[in-house]
Amino acid sequence: MSLTNVMFLAVGLAMDALAVSVGLSLKFRWNSFRQFFRLSFHFGLFQFIMPVAGWAAGERLGWLVAGYDHWAVFVILSYIGYKMIRGEADGGRSMFSVADPTRGRMLVLLSVATSLDALGVGLSLSLLAVSIWFPSIVIGIVACLFTLAGMYFGNRFSRFNSRYLSVTGGLVLIGIGAKILFQDLFP
């Protein structure tokens, strides 16, 4: 697999991480290096791990994941988006408005949701008998960098201090989930 193909693949897979990080940054004020590091590291790590896991599973488990991966992404991102919108409707009193999505269960859910499509890529690469290590490393690094960029730009927009930005961020996450769902249902 050529470097150009790997880069296009990595950028395509990183778009979900970019969009999710922008959407989250519209709601949360990222004010520490740790938050930037945790989210970008985990998004990059999961984007690296999932193609390797998909490649290792190969043809044996491909049919199990292919049928519902897009539904899982849609449900997870829609739930998170709903919580962001609902938190704003409650005057910011929801549990999601207090929680730091760069920690714990929420971080794992976001990381899995943004990298499920990478699992399918790993399955595809196993069918092509391509070595998975170089593409996975590039995919992980690009996802990490795109996440950092998304957090930075989302943070810049969040300074407008508008309550509508939280709603916009929630709608962005729901839209990403819907886009992934429709792309898989209607190729």
User: For the residues 147-155, what does the mean pLDDT come to?
Assistant: 88
Residue pair 176/23 in contact (Cβ under 8 Å)? The answer is yes
Check whether 9 has a pLDDT greater than 70: yes
Q: Where are the domains of the chain?
A: 3-185
pLDDT tens per residue across span 74-120: 787 787 778 767 766 665 544 344 467 778 888 888 899 888 878 87
Instruction: Calculate ∠ Cα 44-61-183, nearest 5°.
Output: 60
What pLDDT is stored for residue 90 in this prediction? 61
CA distances from 116 to 76, 80, 89, 119, 187 (A): 11, 16, 30, 5, 17
CA separation for the pair 25, 165 (Å, rounded):
9
pLDDT tens per residue across span 19-59: 888 878 877 766 778 888 999 999 999 999 999 998 888 75
Mean pLDDT of the chain: 79
CA separation for the pair 96, 14 (Å, rounded):
25
